[in-house]
Amino acid sequence: MTVRFGLLGAGRIGKVHAKAVSGDANAQLVAVADAFPAAAQAIADAYGCEVRTIEAIETAKDIDAVVICTPTDTHADLIERFARAGKAIFCEKPVDLDADRVKACLKVVKETGAKLMVGFNRRFDPHFMAVRKAIDDGRIGAVEMVTITSRDPGAPPIDYIKRSGGIFRDMTIHDFDMARFLLGEEPVAATAHAAVLVDKAIGEAGDYDSVSVILETASGKQAMISNSRRATYGYDQRIEVHGSKGMVAAENQRAVSIEIANGDGYTRPPLHDFFMTRYTEAYANEIAGFIAAIEKGSPITPSGADGLAALVLADAALQSVKEKRQIAIL
Amino acid sequence: MTVRFGLLGAGRIGKVHAKAVSGDANAQLVAVADAFPAAAQAIADAYGCEVRTIEAIETAKDIDAVVICTPTDTHADLIERFARAGKAIFCEKPVDLDADRVKACLKVVKETGAKLMVGFNRRFDPHFMAVRKAIDDGRIGAVEMVTITSRDPGAPPIDYIKRSGGIFRDMTIHDFDMARFLLGEEPVAATAHAAVLVDKAIGEAGDYDSVSVILETASGKQAMISNSRRATYGYDQRIEVHGSKGMVAAENQRAVSIEIANGDGYTRPPLHDFFMTRYTEAYANEIAGFIAAIEKGSPITPSGADGLAALVLADAALQSVKEKRQIAIL
Amino acid sequence: MTVRFGLLGAGRIGKVHAKAVSGDANAQLVAVADAFPAAAQAIADAYGCEVRTIEAIETAKDIDAVVICTPTDTHADLIERFARAGKAIFCEKPVDLDADRVKACLKVVKETGAKLMVGFNRRFDPHFMAVRKAIDDGRIGAVEMVTITSRDPGAPPIDYIKRSGGIFRDMTIHDFDMARFLLGEEPVAATAHAAVLVDKAIGEAGDYDSVSVILETASGKQAMISNSRRATYGYDQRIEVHGSKGMVAAENQRAVSIEIANGDGYTRPPLHDFFMTRYTEAYANEIAGFIAAIEKGSPITPSGADGLAALVLADAALQSVKEKRQIAIL
Amino acid sequence: MTVRFGLLGAGRIGKVHAKAVSGDANAQLVAVADAFPAAAQAIADAYGCEVRTIEAIETAKDIDAVVICTPTDTHADLIERFARAGKAIFCEKPVDLDADRVKACLKVVKETGAKLMVGFNRRFDPHFMAVRKAIDDGRIGAVEMVTITSRDPGAPPIDYIKRSGGIFRDMTIHDFDMARFLLGEEPVAATAHAAVLVDKAIGEAGDYDSVSVILETASGKQAMISNSRRATYGYDQRIEVHGSKGMVAAENQRAVSIEIANGDGYTRPPLHDFFMTRYTEAYANEIAGFIAAIEKGSPITPSGADGLAALVLADAALQSVKEKRQIAIL
């Protein structure tokens, strides 16, 4: 079976998914839509597909699934439309920045029985998958303490910050999902501290750039998350899980891993400086996982519920900062 | 000048200090006192010093300084006595488990003008000192986020737990001191989560074995601390400081650092399994620093005030767990 | 410009190159030939190209370049035929196992002015390229001592061993090329020791499985090569270059780089277990380099002369083992 | 039992041994002799022993053992004298630079039944000992290929070079001993290349500064040694042993093991810059091993025969360079 795809949104991340779909032996990229015709045409040219309108994709009989890479504020509407149109849906995170809107959208997904995957790409990183597998294989016993360090090479433009929903919903949300992925038990409480240490303009935009979070589950398992919008040494992405029988960690990745030694010491190159080079394999695995789930009719993970759960944690973290107290997750 | 020492307490840590004092070219171990005469005699035999009573050491004219390694509940009294006796004092942490008792004790120290060092040995670990030096040298710019991981190979006996003042005052207190040492600015708020994941008996004794803490300073710098009373892979002691221009970290130490590779992968031996082998150099440097400060008449660090500050953070962390909110540090 | 390709040989390595050519925006795979029609058809189906005979490719006007992945004993003949046919040629190493045959072949290449690249893929590994770049950038001063460790996960079948030309011409030849690539000066002497330690059957086939080689240049620079046909921990591929101002090294690569810690220590997974997964990027870069050189009309490296030079070193190493003396390279 | 020591030679390495003997609970430093009275007196003052002449130590009834740290050309004579005087002897390497002189000396040792340990300190490094133990424990199966990298931070003064016997007898000799220690089978052939790459003055003094050596045993096991008289990044001392079931390696040691990350990458400090800080533990373990062997009456390793065997390999390596051929070890 070949899964026939429509791509909604031909921007940076749209290109990544266009390439992944085209390179997958079990998938075919049929059409692409974008508000900017030139962007859509470029992808059409590169991968031999058609340019269509969103409406045309919605009603197309030669399309089984869509990949939604449009701006965030269109996600929930598009998910609802394509759920009703009977297409399988892969949507970049987040479904929406507002939890109530997400809930309403997921209600439609449920009613229509649509298949929906939310783009938490890090679950598909081979190193993080290997961490999860080590846990599943019993290598570290019962999970007790998760530590996630996630720092961006540099802050995005202030315009982006203003539309982002804030650091917890925009950046930490990946770590909330990863914490849930690794803890294996739902957090019931969240505490956070946040500050502006990197760029005052971020603070003036009402956001933070440096945050620390603790999550706790009902049985007392704990996850700590450290975020910064700036790391001079590259895209810092580490996870560590401490358990009753041992510990498993995934260290940072480098594009080039040589080491140069001289009187100043031993130096290895900086890390990847961009999420797309760091997570190249994750993006490919993610789409492959979506295609495989459609083909096999198996459950899709991460689901819309996963997207909502991470957003709820983000909202709780923000509330914790504002109210200087632990927030219970209901 | 040779600093002449009396040692109070001939137990495990007393032996460590006896060896450090005896091996220091600028110091002489003159006398040792212990409630168990045999323990005192063993040190006297090994290092060629006298066995005396505490009272005799208090009034001795041939003793300039004392090292207090007696049980915790005697520390504050002994500090006061020897402060009044005009001796320089090195006291193992903590001064007392009760902050008010510590304050009263430090008042006596201040009034008598006594020199007092509190035994936060980790500040003297060569690797942690190098981290502090890298910060002082401007290698990472302004400090922003400190991460401290500290896990013991195994929990102490329940009897010890019961007398310990609880994990925050007994174990995390080292990390609170390290956080202050590295942040370079006083924490003004503390938040903690705590649970019993390692041993139910610890919970029955009213304590926790797995804790996560966030400290925040007035300018928004953050420190995260992760503690567990059990780590199957040895004595896990790591620090990492993220700053505006870079990051500096001290990794774990191993007694032996070979690597064996085979079909199962590449394996390095576990870490040190005991704080005394891990911090051998730190203990020696600590006493050498105390001796040097006495000789030069220079300020002593870490001081009694440092001991109090760490205890205040421990108390705040415990309060945060109980009240599920951020606690302001006054 | 698009470079139009014919592929000769549809085996394991042929598939790798078919994928690389197809995925390159500046190239097109037009036709494939193989003695086994089914193998050729599989590639034709996967990449949308035609199955043709070698003769048809030789005379085709819609083909600019060929990739030769046929059995070793056909390489020299095919290079000559396609050089005369005016095609650019990429040929898997070696050109031939006999140095005189290689020389005769390269004479034809020279006379016809054909472009020829020999497939020493490791020069295109991003990590090894970064080592070369560090040298070129002056990071380690003048090169003095090169150390190459190269061990296969397991020995090939005895049938392969018998046709391979022996370990020096089959396996060490990659390291001879790498040594030349890194030394930046031609070796003038070679010494080798060789033994059968892995599998007696290899010795009975007249070959060795464990060898040590020293190369020396006119100015005294030295390269050491260590080879084994078996490494339980994976495909071991390391290079290190020591210079007047420092050292640069490329460590081994892993498919997954997590670390698990427990009472047995800290364990990372084994290395890649196969040259095709270890050198995935190198194979893609290699073909891209070939295409770029054709497009730009720039010199092609590694050239036929590079192929010959490595073979001469292999012959010298074998002679050194047999005569127990240093062999001068003429 | 307490072993009572006389120290012959109060120079740099003499001080190291004086400290090790004084600090050993089973040993006592009784007397020290040196051609420079002030040097002897300094050690006498520091460790509370007497200054005596060599003759006085030779005939002393209160001395059981001597440590010989005098200039190399006095070693063999002193060994013979103290062997005849019935003392146990620890002698810094080498016994002599001339193999025949060593043989004559060892004949006296044998005839007198004297106990003699030769100072190959590296056998006592805890990391290298752990490598040997991993082999003995069967962790890597049968030893096949040993790789030793040994580079000094900088070349010694030319005056020293001239008296040193040349790089093979002065520097590589430690690696020859280490190769024998690890191979577990005697080398029967040696091949070497040597050049002057670091300092022309070394060449003018008739010596080399950069050498590569291969040793081979009767069963085909191979050891490779790489030496340079200069390494900008510190005292480079690595060993690796490849076996039928795996590999074991001891990496370099650092005095401080922090890592600093910024835009230039991840940097660890240089290595130890001096053999005495690198091998502090080895020197202490070595003397402890000597004392233990005397107390228990157990065989002493490394013995005079070990010293001779390493010297024979050094002579063979030099001959190989000069004659450009493999040299058989008889």
The confidence score (pLDDT) of residue B330 equals 85
Establish if C232 belongs to a structural domain. yes
- pLDDT per position as a tens digit, C151-163: 999 999 999 999 9
pLDDT at D27 over 80: yes
Tell me which chain B residues have a C-beta less than 8 angstroms from the C-beta of C266: 233, 267-270
- CB contact, 8 Å: A211 with chain C? no
For an interface test with A, which of C127, C132, C242, C257 has the most A Cβ atoms less than 10 Å from its Cβ? C257
- The beta-carbon neighbor of C256 closest among A130, A247, A256 is A130
Tell me which residue in D140, D260, D269 faces B246 most closely, judged by beta carbons.
Answer: D260
Interatomic CA distance for residues B192 and B213, integer angstroms: 4
- Whole-angstrom Cα distance, residue A308 to residue A105? 10
The predicted model gives A79-96 an average pLDDT of 97
Tell me the mean pLDDT in the region B108-126. 97
Range of the domain at B159: 123-282+309-328
- CA-to-CA distance for D41 and D14, rounded, in angstroms? 13
Q: What percent of chain C has pLDDT over 90?
A: 95
pLDDT above 90: residue B107: yes
Above 80 in pLDDT, residue B32? yes
Using one digit for the tens of pLDDT, what is the confidence trace for C178-213? 999 999 999 999 999 999 999 999 999 999 999 999
On whether any CB of chain A is under 8 Å from the CB of C237, the answer is no
Q: Does C319 touch chain D (CB under 8 A)?
A: no
Q: How far is D80 from chain A (nearest CA, A)?
A: 44
Which residues from D are below 8 Å from B250, CB to CB? 257-258
Contacts C324 to D, Cβ<8 Å: 189, 325-326
ipTM over 0.85: yes
* D170 and D80 part of one domain: no
Whether residues B269 and D130 touch (CB distance < 8 A) is answered with: yes
D220/D136 same-domain check: yes
For D246, the closest chain B residue by CA position comes to B262
Does residue C129 sit within a domain? Answer: yes
Average pLDDT over residues D195-221: 98
Distance from CA of A245 to the nearest CA of C (A): 6
- CATH code (residue A41): 3.40.50.720
Is D302 a domain residue? no
What is the tens place of the pLDDT at every residue in A239-262? Answer: 999 999 999 999 999 999 999 999
Judging contacts by C-beta atoms under 8 Å, the chain A residues touching residue C241 are none
Q: Which of D144, D257, D268, D272 to mutate to test the interface with B (most CBs of B within 10 A)?
A: D257
Is residue C96 located within the same domain as residue C210?
no
Residues A161 and A233 in one domain: yes
Please give, one letter per residue, the 3-state secondary structure of chain C. Answer: CCEEEEEECCCHHHHHHHHHHHCCCCEEEEEEECCCHHHHHHHHHHHCCEECCHHHHHHCCCCCEEEECCCHHHHHHHHHHHHHCCCEEEEECCCCCCHHHHHHHHHHHHHHCCCEEEECHHHHCHHHHHHHHHHHCCCCCCEEEEEEEEECCCCCCHHHHHHCCCHHHHCHHHHHHHHHHHHCCCEEEEEEEEECCCCHHHHHCCCCCEEEEEEEECCCCEEEEEEECCCCCCCEEEEEEEECCCEEEECCCCCCCEEEEECCEEEECCCCCCHHHHCHHHHHHHHHHHHHHHHHCCCCCCCHHHHHHHHHHHHHHHHHHHHCECEECC
Q: What is the pLDDT of residue D267?
A: 98
Q: Tell me which residue of D100, D137, D317 sits closest to D227, measured CA to CA.
A: D317
Cis preceding linkage at C153, omega within 30: no
Asked if C90 and C178 sit in the same domain, the reply is no
Q: Nearest-CA distance from C80 to chain D in Å?
A: 39
Let me know if residue B320 belongs to a domain.
yes
Q: Looking at residue A144, what is its pLDDT?
A: 98
- Same domain as D22, residue D50: yes
**Given C81, C114, C147, which residue is the final one in a domain?**
C114
- pLDDT tens-digit readout, D259-270: 999 999 999 999
Cβ–Cβ contact B233 with C under 8 A: yes
Residues D49-67: tens digit of each pLDDT: 999 999 999 999 999 999 9
Q: What is the pLDDT of residue D226?
A: 98
Both B92 and B165 in one domain: the answer is no
How many domains is chain C built from? 2
pLDDT in tens, A174-218: 999 999 999 999 999 999 999 999 999 999 999 999 999 999 999
Contact B267 C266 (CB under 8 A): yes
Give me the total of CB pairs closer than 8 Å, taking one residue from chain B and one from chain D: 73
Q: Are residues C317 and C183 located together in one domain of the fold? A: yes
pLDDT score of D47: 87
DSSP reduced 3-state for A238? strand
- The predicted pLDDT at position A330 comes to 85
CB–CB contact C189 D324 (8 Å): yes
Look at residues C89, C114, C139 and tell me which one is the last residue of a structural domain. Answer: C114
Neighbours of chain A (3+ CB pairs under 8 A): B, C, D
Nearest neighbour of D257 by CB, restricted to B127, B245, B247 = B127
B152: confidence class by pLDDT, cuts 50, 70, 90: very high
What mean pLDDT do residues B310-328 have? Answer: 98
Domain termination residue (choose one: B90, B114, B138): B114
Question: C246: which chain A residues are within 8 Å (Cβ-Cβ)?
Answer: 260-263
A257-292 residue pLDDT tens: 999 999 999 999 999 998 989 999 999 999 999 999
Within-domain flag for D303? no
Residue D194 included in any domain: yes
Tens digits of residue pLDDT in A51-78:
999 999 999 999 999 999 999 999 999 9
Predicted confidence at residue A24, as pLDDT, reads 83
A103 & A130 share domain: no
- Looking at every residue in chain A, the average pLDDT score rounds to 96
Find the CATH number of the domain harbouring C207.
3.30.360.10
Same domain, C64 and C144: no
Whether D269 contacts chain A with CB within 8 A: yes
B158-203 pLDDT per residue, tens:
999 999 999 999 999 999 999 999 999 999 999 999 999 999 999 9
Do D137 and D172 lie in one domain? The reply is yes
Our CA-based measurement puts residue C107 at a distance from the nearest CA of chain D, in whole angstroms, of 34
Chain B CB contacts of A319 below 8 Å: none
Q: Is the pLDDT of residue D303 over 80?
A: yes
* Among C residues 2-41, those touching chain A with beta carbons less than 8 Å apart: 23, 25
What value does the mean pLDDT take over residues C127-146?
Answer: 98
In terms of domains, do A138 and A41 share one? no
Q: Does C292 fall in a domain? A: no
C108 lies in some domain: yes
Q: Is pLDDT of C47 > 90? A: no
Q: Has residue C23 got a pLDDT over 90?
A: no
Q: Which pLDDT value is given to residue A226?
A: 98
Q: What would the pLDDT profile of D130-178 be if each residue is shown by its tens digit?
A: 999 999 999 999 999 999 999 999 999 999 999 999 999 999 999 999 9
pLDDT over 70 percentage in chain C: 100
* Whether C214 and D191 lie within 8 Å, measured CB to CB: yes
